[in-house]
Amino acid sequence: MIENTTSFYVGTEINFGKNVSLQIGEKLKEYNIKKAMVVTDKGIVNAGLLDNVLDSLSNSNIQYIVFDETPPNPPAEIINKGVDVCKENKCTGLIAIGGGSSIDTSKAISMIVENGGNINDYDNSPQGGKEVKSEGLPVFTIPTTSGTGSEVTQWAVVTDVQRNWKSSIGSPLMAPKVSLVDPTLTLGLPPAITASTGVDALTHAIEAYTCKGATTSESPITDALALRAIKLVGNNLRTAYSQGENYEARKNTMFGSTLAGMSFPNVGLGTVHGMAHPLGGHFEVAHGVANAILLPYVMEFNVLTNPERFSNIAVALGEDITGLNPMEAARKAVKAVRSLIQDVEIPSLDSFEKVDPKLFPKLAEDALNEAATHDNPKKTTKQDIIDLFNKAYYKEG
């Protein structure tokens, strides 16, 4: 009888270190890419972060075009436009440089070029969507933030504007071929983005360590990655936030983000992500900020499900649990996360003018249709979600 087995998948070659992004030209040559489409946003272009990447392509005699129209929360319309540009220019590979939006846009364009159709039709919600049947064009990722983990996952999140919905599209056929994770690219990142993306990474790690997939089956690989990510982000985010040019803090935070990105696709997430997606879809709250606002409330909701794991999170975050019983130690994890979120000045939910508590029941319905909510270790009802939104909005706890 086969038992106590574990499985783990990462379909991406990961290269991590100072100035590793300068290898992009050589990496494309390894895959025989003659012409690449560079997917990014105007902020990256204006910050000069594209210059060395384009120089590397030129030095390797690789032709390229730049598609710099990626917005935050990219909608299907941008994906369709990118697909047209990619086909018209006969590109054979894509390079994503930027945050999660640029990377997700690149993966989505790549997949639709080969599979066709509307990107939102491939939504992986519990209702099901179209299956990705063909591998997309090769995607090469260069993240410039430390948070989404998208550079090493098989997932893309695309906004369905008509439904105020964030579609999660994923398949092993969408995994990037190569990721060049270069901490130097985050040295100029503004504090607010450092904070929100950093807590996004922390959320990935905490949910990966406590979700149903991690706690109901053997998951030693994802457990090790998630706990290490919690420690790296928890011990370095404050410094990265307050001392933006501190390379060691930037490096460790980015490494934690990548480890978390390797972990959660193999086991799942939880109600934080289930609630964050409709919060972003309806009110345009940035994903990392939404996760950061909701994280301590959902942790508090879940803490009874597995005090031992939450105690381990507390230790990873530097808390002393000597002499405490399991529940006291577990609640230290919630306290530590609240303290971190306060220190990096995550805005409160009530500071967003568009957020209307009267719509929380609708957001709760949407959250119940998110796959992540069904990964949560504690069954979450519509009323539970409404209560959690209210606690976050009115700062209860």
- Average pLDDT along the chain: 93
200-239 tens-digit pLDDT:
999 999 999 999 999 887 789 999 999 999 999 999 999 9
Bridge partner residues of 178 (DSSP): 13, 140
Question: Average pLDDT in the 374-378 region?
Answer: 96
Decide if pLDDT at 374 tops 80: yes
Token output for 167? 């579609």
274-311 tens-digit pLDDT:
999 999 889 989 999 999 999 999 999 999 999 999 99
How far is residue 322's CA from residue 196's CA, in Å, rounded to a whole number?
31
pLDDT band (50, 70, 90) for residue 118: confident
pLDDT at 344: 97
How far is residue 278's CA from residue 286's CA, in Å, rounded to a whole number?
11
Task: Please list the residue range(s) of the chain that carry CATH number 1.20.1090.10.
Answer: 189-393
The answer to whether the CB of 277 falls within 8 A of the CB of 367 is yes
Architecture of domain 189-393: Up-down Bundle (1.20)
The answer to whether the CB of 253 falls within 8 A of the CB of 201 is yes
Burial class from Cβ neighbours inside 10 Å (0-12, 13-18, 19+) for residue 68 reads middle
pLDDT at 160: 81
Task: Please list the residue range(s) of the chain that carry CATH number 3.40.50.1970.
Answer: 13-185
Q: Is the dihedral of CA 355, 201, 105, 63 positive or negative?
A: positive
How far is residue 203's CA from residue 219's CA, in Å, rounded to a whole number?
18
Class of the 13-185 domain?
A: alpha beta
